Amino acid sequence: MRSLFLRWMFAAGALLALSSASATAATDEALLPRNLSPWGMFLSADIVVKAVMIGLVCASLVTWTVWLAKTVELRRKSALAVTRTRALEADITMSEAAKRAGAASDAVAQLIQSTAKEADLSGGIIGDGLEARIALRLERVEAAMSRQIARGTGVLATIGATAPFVGLFGTVWGIMNAFIGISETHTTSLAVVAPGIAEALLATALGLVAAIPAVVIYNHLVRGIANYRALLGDASAQLMLLVSRQRDRRDFSLARAAE
């Protein structure tokens, strides 16, 4: 009888442990999100983590928009600057260069127009002062055109510097919520903890996805802008050579260029 009682107690304990394990597994399965894809993790994430993810996606869209717009602008303006600079290398006068530039608004055309305007204001008086004033005007126009072409690139530097930290904030917030969930469910099962941690790490991944292209594109655009500034410097040098050449020839008819 005693042996039969012990066998019955052992069987009851095993059945109780099995039922407890089954209940725990069922609870863990109920706590798991149905969809563990990136979209599913986004939908099941905390509102703060969702806001962080949406902000990072918007930052990434801004990065690629700036890249496309600035690439097109740089190529168009650089090609036009090269064309006009090559025209200045020919044996032409300032009045002819001003007529060709007309009322165009590109950078080299504005350099030519500024030179013609200073010559007109000087009343045709030839001297070192005229060349110094023209050089000052050209420097100011170059600076203004450089600021204009660089407009919008600062946001890329901001995104590249802050996006990883924004993603890290979302990760910290998500992991904090995961630990709060552990304390509320009174379980340390990996099946319960893993989805919340995965959702949190998704924010860091999006931060890197936003930051890495922003840094690469920013550096690429900075090099393109530097090349464009060099083209403007070449155009200014050609204009100064043209002014000096006409001064030596005593054929300084810049006053007509502004007409």
Please give, one letter per residue, the 3-state secondary structure of 122-135. CCCCCCHHHHHHHH
- Residue 18 clears pLDDT 50, i.e. is over it: no
Distance CA 51, CA 69 (A): 27
- Residue 42 clears pLDDT 60, i.e. is over it: yes
Domain borders along the chain are 1-31, 36-256
The amino acid at residue 213 is P
Section 156-178 average pLDDT: 89
The tokens of 143 are what? Answer: 């600076």
Candidate from 89-103, 136-150, 227-241 with smallest mean pLDDT? 89-103
Candidate from 99-103, 134-138, 205-209, 253-257 with smallest mean pLDDT? 253-257
Helices marked H in 151-189 — which ranges?
154-185
pTM: 0.75
Cα-to-chain-centroid distance, residue 248: 49
Residue with tokens 């500034």: 229
Residue 122, number of CB atoms within 10 A of its CB = 17
DSSP tag of 90: S
